[in-house]
Amino acid sequence: MRSPIEVLSSLVHSPTRLICGIMSGTSVDAVDVGLVRVTGSGPATSVDLVHYSETLYAEEIQQRIFDCMEASTSNVFDICVLDALLAHVYADAVRQTCTEAGFAIREVDLIGMHGQTLHHVPEPVLTGQYAVRSSFQAGSGAVLAALTGVPVVSDFRVADMALGGQGAPLVPYVDYLLFRSDEEDRILLNIGGIANMTWLPAACTEAEVVAWDLGPGNMVVDALMRQFFGREFDESGEVAASGRVNADLLSWMMSHSFFREPAPKSTGREAFGRYYVETLLQIARDLEINSPTDLVATASECTVRSIIRELAPLVARSAACSVYISGGGVKNNFFLAGLRHGLSNAELFDATALGVPADAKEAVSFAVLANEWLHGNCANLPKVTGASRRAILGSFSV
């Protein structure tokens, strides 16, 4: 067995590396794995997506994750088990991806694993003499490395948070490396469980990148679809399109304090998860809204308006702006129609137009972030996260 220093030396001096990026987001629907050939590092990084796979969570595991995200249904035993369990799930997903791509798992050089966020605390909590920010992504990097025999970089958020940052969003650094343009202003909009965006002015430097979370993307809509329709999401946005937006309920949703917070900011299920949906349903009952389709339409409209609210000022100051959309929301026609109307001065594209399939973009991003750790490159953007300085992101397991 090679020592960690031998492993690292071999990887650093290799001209290219075959890296698996693993992402499982706030929608808690699937594990995304991108098998990526990465060349170079920093601004000289180039990527070739060899294969992408999406492995749906088993219903039992999905429910375990949801339960562990809520204080009322979680306990230390379940969280402890889930941390190891998810590493097994990820190992199977990596093996499946390699098999589909025609590679042996021993040919993979490195794994970049985001893990499954259970709780995110971006604002400082004063405990004794310490003001602590924290974020916990379940899925043990050490267990995954042991199961696959492949070195793993994980825990990407915590170093930034130790330096006073939000630990999110992290993908904007990769957006800058891979997708900046000398000719056009670009907005990279991701509509996952949470919606977030990266603003890349033409010919921008790292310091000019702007990014933050926008609010709920698919998260609230998905919860309503599961409760009322027994489906994981609103395919093509057809349920939303068949309903009517309730102005009073929409007004309540848009009054959420997160939308008034200045950037840098990040959010998750802590703000828009189970408790939020339960409150939403109580408000709907008080307003005598009885139609599930109207609830889905209203929640979908909240997603659209919260995105437009943040992106419209950027589009307005640009002579020519293109918006590239990724995440599950790129398949929602209700979202897309609303965004085209509200951002009429911009051109909207599926992010696949940038050369990486929209579905695979986040998995590819964590392969790149693992590569940046390997080369000792700082991968946070303090202007984006609020950290006091740049930091190398990730922990290594071999």
pLDDT digits (tens, 9 = 90+) for 166-205: 999 999 999 999 999 999 999 999 999 999 999 999 999 9
Distance (Å, whole) CA 320 – CA 136: 39
Do residues 237 and 332 make contact, with C-beta atoms less than 8 angstroms apart? yes
1 pLDDT higher than 90:
no
71 pLDDT higher than 80:
yes
Distance (Å, whole) CA 261 – CA 382: 18
Q: Please give the pLDDT value at position 26.
A: 83
Q: Please give the pLDDT value at position 281.
A: 98
Interval 303-325: pLDDT, tens = 999 999 999 999 999 988 999 99
**Mean pLDDT calculated for residue range 141-161:** 98
Distance (Å, whole) CA 123 – CA 281: 27
Average pLDDT, the chain: 96
- The reply to whether omega before 169 is within 30° of 0 (cis) is yes
Distance (Å, whole) CA 325 – CA 379: 22
Report DSSP state, residue 202: T
Q: Please give the pLDDT value at position 22.
A: 98
Banded pLDDT at 2 (limits 50, 70, 90):
confident
Q: Please give the pLDDT value at position 25.
A: 86
**Mean pLDDT calculated for residue range 228-234:** 95
Tell me which residue of 31, 38, 80, 83 sits closest to 57, measured CA to CA.
31
Distance (Å, whole) CA 251 – CA 58: 36
Distance linking the first and last C-alpha atoms of the chain? 10
Distance (Å, whole) CA 188 – CA 174: 11
Do residues 167 and 135 make contact, with C-beta atoms less than 8 angstroms apart? yes
At 379, phi and psi to the nearest 5?
-120, 5
Q: Please give the pLDDT value at position 308.
A: 98
